[in-house]
Amino acid sequence: MRQETMRFMEKIGYRFRNPALLENALTHSSYANERWHNSLLSNERLEFLGDSVLGMLVAEYLYRNFPNRPEGELTRMRADMVCENTLAEIAHQLDLGRHLLLGHGEEQGGGRSRNSILADAVESVLAASFLDGGFPAARGIIERLVLTHVPKTQLHNRDYKTALQERVQQKRNQVLTYTLIGESGPDHDKHFQVEVCLNGAVVGLGDGSSKKRAEQDAARDALEKLFPGESE
């Protein structure tokens, strides 16, 4: 086993019983293709599996920790947590690029810092850990790496307008409107008041330092009144 592979094992906090799985996860297709006569496997199949393992375990985390969030919002949260940018950021902080096996052309083309390659490698590593130690192993790595690299504000800041829209649209012919009902303060310190109506009836009031923030506050107020417990 390469020293680079052993060092990376230490970084992710999981010791593989079968290190060959991790070595496979760090093998880019460009490297495998240059050494086709050695029957090397690239990490592409692991990436395929890792995408599902990551999505499922993040979905489980969100389901258990945000019991009052609707399905649409949970889907958006998961998408943010498993997107290429998030995974590439994790890879950069782990300095994963230096541990990859890359072909000469990919090496010369800056592959060690390319976000798409790094994100795919993170998924491959998760798949390798799953094959080596099952869901507990993969879950442990995700908890240590993925969940800790997502800003808490991203998990707790809600798009109340979208949440309200999705909730009321569960019934047909529901119309939400937002109306500016007040504005105060000097130009450099404005304050806005907004009301939100459902089919013409006021269901929420909000205020904020911008119209958008006031609308979000009004939507939050409406959620609290119409669907108690769903504005958390």
- CATH number of the domain at 128, please: 1.10.1520.10
Q: What is the CATH number of the domain that holds 175?
A: 3.30.160.20
pLDDT at 174 over 70: yes
The verdict on 182 and 144 lying in the same domain is no
The verdict on 124 and 9 lying in the same domain is yes
Give the separation between CA 13 and CA 16, rounded to whole angstroms.
Answer: 10
Domain count, the chain: 2
The string of pLDDT tens digits covering residues 179-194 is 999 999 887 778 899 9
Work out whether the CA dihedral 129, 62, 76, 158 comes out positive or negative.
Answer: negative
The verdict on 121 and 176 lying in the same domain is no
Whether 51 is catalytic is yes
Helices vs. strands in the chain: H and E counts, helices first: 11, 3
pLDDT at 186: 81
Cβ–Cβ under 8 Å, residues 208 and 214: yes
pLDDT at 182: 95
pLDDT at 71: 85
pLDDT at 203 over 60: yes
pLDDT at 176: 95
How is residue 11 written in tokens? Answer: 């970084």
Picking from 55-59, 101-105, 127-131, 144-148, which range would have the lowest pLDDT averaged per residue? Answer: 144-148
pLDDT at 230: 61
The verdict on 20 and 135 lying in the same domain is yes
pLDDT at 154 over 70: no
Is the pTM higher than 0.85? The answer reads no
Whether 95 is catalytic is no
Whether residue 231 lies inside any domain: the answer is no
Q: What residues make up the domain containing 177?
A: 160-226
Sequence-distant (6+) residues with CB within 8 A of 75 are: none
Phi, psi of 139 (to 5 degrees): -65, -40
Q: Which of 106, 120, 123, 195 is catalytic?
A: 123
pLDDT at 155: 54
- The share of the chain scoring above pLDDT 90, in percent, equals 59
Helices 84-94 & 3-12, crossing angle to 10 degrees? 120
Whether residue 31 lies inside any domain: the answer is yes
Q: Given the structure tokens 């404005």, which residue do they identify?
A: 190
The verdict on 66 and 176 lying in the same domain is no
Q: Round to the nearest angstrom and report the end-to-end CA distance of the chain.
A: 49
Picking from 5-14, 47-56, 64-73, 98-107, which range would have the lowest pLDDT averaged per residue? Answer: 64-73
The verdict on 104 and 192 lying in the same domain is no
Work out whether the CA dihedral 25, 27, 32, 38 comes out positive or negative.
Answer: negative
pLDDT at 36: 75
Picking from 80-89, 105-114, 148-157, 202-211, which range would have the lowest pLDDT averaged per residue? Answer: 148-157
Give the separation between CA 218 and CA 210, rounded to whole angstroms.
Answer: 12
pLDDT at 80: 83
Q: Which of 4, 34, 51, 207 is catalytic?
A: 51
Averaged pLDDT, 48-56: 97
The verdict on 85 and 175 lying in the same domain is no
Mean pLDDT for the chain overall:
89
pLDDT at 149: 57
Whether residue 232 lies inside any domain: the answer is no
pLDDT at 153: 44
**Domain end among 124, 156, 188:** 156
Q: Residue 221's pLDDT band (boundaries 50, 70, 90)? A: very high
The verdict on 57 and 164 lying in the same domain is no
The verdict on 189 and 90 lying in the same domain is no
The verdict on 152 and 164 lying in the same domain is no
For residue 30, count other CB atoms closer than 10 A to its CB: 19
For residue 24, count other CB atoms closer than 10 A to its CB: 22
The verdict on 97 and 181 lying in the same domain is no
pLDDT at 150: 54
